[in-house]
Amino acid sequence: MLTIIPEALAQYVEAHSAPEPELLAELRDETQASLAMPQMQVGRVEGALLRMLVQLTRSRRVLEVGTYSGYSALSMASGLPDDGKLVTCDIDPVATAVARRYFERSPHGHKIELRLGPAIETIRGLAANGASFDLLFIDADKQSYLDYYEAALPMLPAGGLVVADNTLWSGRVLEPKDDSDHAIVRFNARVAADARVETVLLSVRDGVMLARKR
């Protein structure tokens, strides 16, 4: 489990959060057993948070940058109305093949559209076609977080929500060393200073930045 709080406290948090759906638990186990870098999968509590954020914002359209094996997409799709839509993009054909299988098994899978290819190209294509989204979830390559944010924010209406994962980066934001560390620091600073949004940085799992468009 990836967490910046003590393991015992993380277990307490899980015990007092919504139980993990059976299909998502199975997906978590398969991801851990068969895919490279399974720590990329969002945690159980974060998945529950994403679902609740979709419900609280009454989102009907969600854009996800970074599918991996589909846990976060399925979590958010479960919070959408039956005619809602989630577009998720990734470049990894191996991990997304797992995601597709679980999308097909889920009663919420029909809400999900997976686009394989560079995310920035997908975002720009959606923008060029006049797409709009109520919620944006960013959880992909850290060096491109700002690019994704800037490209997608215009597609959100006033009140739209940006959610960015890994924004505490295992505490390395305090003493950044490599390129990914510095990229997260730049992203957090830029979003916090952006007059177009109001923000709160949560210490959920590895850090979750929320930015509500004004």
- Looking at the chain, the whole-number percentage of residues with pLDDT higher than 70 is 98
Residue 1 confidence (pLDDT)? 41
- Give 212's pLDDT tier (boundaries 50, 70, 90): very high
Taking the whole predicted model, whether its pTM rises above 0.75 is answered as yes
Residue 2 confidence (pLDDT)? 53
The pLDDT of 127-137, averaged and rounded, is 98
d(C-alpha 204, C-alpha 17), whole Å: 12
d(C-alpha 7, C-alpha 137), whole Å: 26
Nearest to 93 by CA among 67, 65, 112: 67
Around Cβ 159, how many Cβ atoms within 10 Å? 11
Looking at CATH, the fold of the domain delimited by 7-213 is given as Rossmann fold (3.40.50)
Domain ranges of the chain: 7-213
The pLDDT of 170-182, averaged and rounded, is 96
Residue 7 confidence (pLDDT)? 87
Residue 5 confidence (pLDDT)? 78
Q: Are 166 and 142 in contact (CB under 8 A)?
A: yes
DSSP 129-154: TT---SEEEE-S-GGGHHHHHHHHGG
21-33 per-position pLDDT tens digit:
999 999 999 999 9
Mean pLDDT of all residues in the chain?
96
- Give 3's pLDDT tier (boundaries 50, 70, 90): low
54-96 per-position pLDDT tens digit:
999 999 999 999 999 999 999 999 999 999 999 999 999 999 9
- Give 10's pLDDT tier (boundaries 50, 70, 90): confident
CA dihedral over 187, 190, 195, 200, signed as positive or negative: positive
